[in-house]
Amino acid sequence: MGLELFTCMMKEEWRLHSTMFGSLSFALFPVLIFGIVFMSSFLLPLFRVVLPAGDLGLITIGVFLLLGVMVGGFGLLGNEVMNRRFGQMSLLAYSARSLPLSERYIFTNFVIKDIVYYLFLWVLPFVLGFAVASPFIGVPPVYPLLLFASLTMSFLFGLSAIFLLSTVYSRSKTALAILFTAVLVIAGWAYLSYGASLADLFPPLQLLRNGTYLALFLSCILVAIPFTVSIALFTPEYTGTSKRFSNLLTPLTGKLSFFPTPPLAAKDIIDLWRSGGGVGQVLFSFLLPLGLIWFFLSVLRSLVPDYAVLLVFAVTTGIISATMYTWITSFDTFSSYACLPVSVSTLITSKICTFTVLQLVPAVFMVIVTIITGMVLYLIPAMVIWGAVSFYALSVSIYLTGLTPNILVYDVNVLLAFLVLIGVPVMVVIALAFINPYFGVAALLLGIPAFGLVSKGYKRWEGKEMASF
Amino acid sequence: MGIVTVIEAQGLTKKFGDTTAVDNVTLTVPQGALFGLLGPNGSGKTTMIKMLTGQVRPTNGQATVLGLDVMNDPVGVRKSVGIIPEQETPPSFLTAMEYLAFVGAVRKIPDIDEKAAWWFSFLEFEDKRDVLCKDLSRGTRQKLMFAQAFLHKPVLALIDEPLINFDPIMQRKVKEYLSDYVQSGGTIFISTHILEIAEEICTGFAILHKGKLLYSGAISELADKKQHLSEFFFSQVRDD
């Protein structure tokens, strides 16, 4: 029965994605990853001149750890997030209501399905791309195997750690706050004590560097413990209790009266807050990834000036900040507004307003990072670069994906267009900032294409049927 | 003074890939009618309502609702009418009261608190006003969707399967409300596959089958022929 359920969930996940943007387009996504990695592998000899192989391995491991964190952060917050993720859809995750299967059993299958699915979607194509290129760049044949094992472990650790935090969250928000604070304190203390060499203790990285059975064993333990504990702690939330809330919409609409569509913006903020997304998303999809990125960028400090690291971090923060658009579009489809006199462009305008309010979080974050790293001198270029990149990336998302950035990001054509439209101007900004940090202020010019992209996005998505998908 | 037409569709067609959901439908609904669009599951009733409310663009043909072109001014159409979609979709994380306040703010309806209170009382769900929509039962969600559609007292309401989740007591109450609404000058356009409802409350009806319009006329015509709606319906949709 377990295998049947698992197989059906895999089919369901595939059909969910392929229905949304076409079987071929979605099937090409792993091929795209394979192609990019295959071609990038030939640049490795060039990279090694400026970046030691060990640091490159560390960054790769970090990227997959981050990927696991983001995949885990996307879901697995119990029923609340299943609802958010699946909306009103009837999926196997709900089958405990009609089949003689326990919630825990279904949930375990759901988790395994997600692991396998994303391994095939991301990890395997990445490693295969490198493996096929490895004979041409003088990499020993065993290295792709080690890479596969270590990247898998790194990805799974990210997933399982977030899974654990999410499960704790679904039981007690206070317990999560204590656990999260403890992890931050310990990580901070360890970073201050060991610096970047702290990463050397990470078993998946040891596995990649040394290829020992001990490292493999420790990696397995590192992954297995959070998974086991979180499945044991899992609690189905829908027990029939319904909380009551006083009317928050009316006063919030009044406070947001300077916006063009106050009730829509108020609804977005309430959605985010009550879904747990307000705190959860900031922790899992913003602070945690950026913390990891800062850690991995810090290895560049021996190669480039400190201000360059800060400004590259500002660019990265800008891109991650732009993903907040996916937070506020994940609660409803346009069909939710189909009985109201609201156009697609009005709705997009409202989401831009809500997005602007949310940018307060990364703005404060960037100020804090700039201060604690002792680079207040570069506060202005850092803030300008962050803000310009964030709003520019938002405009690209709006133009390419309209109100559905969550699902269209897996469309190969859209992803390629996104990478090109973001990558090229961002590279120019980074290059300018490297020449002189204040040249980075030129990022403000991104406002011009951003305005054009949003205007085109309005016309583009107004003309398409958005009633349902 | 002639009869005012509130809905006029000419050659309305909608194709989804190779499937023709609605095929060349021409239909008029006069003001003051309680008009039922009848048909089996999958006959194109919901697609028809979606086209008439500007949610779906017709592949061919044209339609006006209250004189507004549904393709050129879908927002204008939705501003003037009340709509209850087939699938109840109040936002998950708003309470019932907040949802009505939200609709009131979007539609700029004055005195929304009093109006919402009346609906909570009329549809008997005051105890659910502060509960999140995601935690409401299907029946209560439908009550909420019903309230939002009539909150601004539209001259025309389009309702997809109006009574399907209501208990018999609530069904009777809502049927009376709809009849009174029409008596006071409003127009109601409902789609349903429950023939008893149509026979009981509708003044006019049309039968849609496999996307094609088979018949359109007044319920009184059947009474003249001493024929029940169900008999007539089955005689029309019988496969050749």
| pLDDT, chain A, mean | 81
Whether residues B94 and A270 touch (CB distance < 8 A) is answered with yes
Which tens digit of pLDDT belongs to each residue from A179-190? 878 888 887 887
Residue A19 has pLDDT above 70, yes or no: no
Q: In what order do the strands lie in the sheet with B68-69?
A: B19-30, B5-16, B60-65, B68-69
Residue A48 has pLDDT above 80, yes or no: no
Tally C-beta pairs within 8 A across A and B: 104
User: What ipTM describes this predicted complex?
Assistant: 0.87
Question: Chain A partners of B148 at a C-beta cutoff of 8 Å?
Answer: 339
Q: How confident is the model at residue A276, as a pLDDT?
A: 65
CA distance B91 to B78: 18
Residue A263 has pLDDT above 90, yes or no: yes
Whether residues A247 and B101 touch (CB distance < 8 A) is answered with yes
Task: Pick A267's closest partner by Cβ from B56, B74, B102.
Answer: B102
At A326, the pLDDT band (50, 70, 90 cuts) reads: confident
Which tens digit of pLDDT belongs to each residue from A363-397? 999 999 899 888 999 999 999 999 999 999 999 99
Q: Is residue B231 one of the residues assigned to a domain?
A: yes
Residue A92 has pLDDT above 80, yes or no: no
CB-side exposure of B41: number of CA atoms within 13 Å?
A: 0
Q: Is residue A79 one of the residues assigned to a domain?
A: yes
**Structural domains in chain A (count):** 2
At A67, the pLDDT band (50, 70, 90 cuts) reads: confident
Residue A421 has pLDDT above 80, yes or no: yes
CA distance A258 to chain B (A): 14
**Structural domains in chain B (count):** 1
Q: Is residue A297 one of the residues assigned to a domain?
A: no
Q: Tell me the one-letter amino acid at A85.
A: R
- Residue predicted with more confidence, A301 or B17: B17
- Residue A83 sits in the same domain as residue A196: yes
Q: Tell me the one-letter amino acid at A303.
A: L
Whether residues A339 and B130 touch (CB distance < 8 A) is answered with no
Q: What kind and span of H or E run contains B208?
A: strand B204-209
At B240, the pLDDT band (50, 70, 90 cuts) reads: very low
- Residue A21 sits in the same domain as residue A121: yes
- Using the Cβ of B53 and the Cβ atoms of chain A, whether some distance falls under 8 Å is answered with yes
Whether residues B132 and A274 touch (CB distance < 8 A) is answered with yes
Buried/exposed code over A217-246 (b: 16+ C-beta within 10 A; e: otherwise): ebbeebbeebbeebbeebeebbeeeeeebe
Domain that holds residue A269: 259-274+305-469
Q: Which residue from B minimizes the CA distance to A336?
A: B89
Q: Tell me the one-letter amino acid at A427.
A: M
CA distance B74 to chain A (A): 8
| pLDDT, chain B, mean | 91
Q: Is residue A217 one of the residues assigned to a domain?
A: yes
- Using the Cβ of B135 and the Cβ atoms of chain A, whether some distance falls under 8 Å is answered with yes
Q: Is residue A100 one of the residues assigned to a domain?
A: yes
Q: How confident is the model at residue A77, as a pLDDT?
A: 43
Which tens digit of pLDDT belongs to each residue from A266-275? 998 898 888 7
- Residue predicted with more confidence, A279 or A209: A209
Whether residues B98 and A245 touch (CB distance < 8 A) is answered with yes
- Residue A461 sits in the same domain as residue A384: yes
Give the pLDDT mean for B113-137: 94
Q: Is residue B23 one of the residues assigned to a domain?
A: no
- Residue A266 sits in the same domain as residue A206: no
CA distance B237 to chain A (A): 29
Question: Chain A partners of B91 at a C-beta cutoff of 8 Å?
Answer: 267, 271, 331-332, 336
Question: Chain B partners of A246 at a C-beta cutoff of 8 Å?
Answer: 130
Domain that holds residue B75: 31-42+54-237
Task: Pick A250's closest partner by Cβ from B76, B101, B134.
Answer: B101
Give the pLDDT mean for B161-188: 91
Residue B239 has pLDDT above 60, yes or no: no
Task: Pick B132's closest partner by Cβ from A242, A266, A332.
Answer: A242
Task: Pick A342's closest partner by Cβ from B89, B101, B106.
Answer: B106
Task: Look up tokens 């795209």; give the residue.
Answer: A32
Q: Is residue A248 one of the residues assigned to a domain?
A: no
Q: How confident is the model at residue A78, as a pLDDT?
A: 40
**Domain containing residue B215: CATH number:** 3.40.50.300
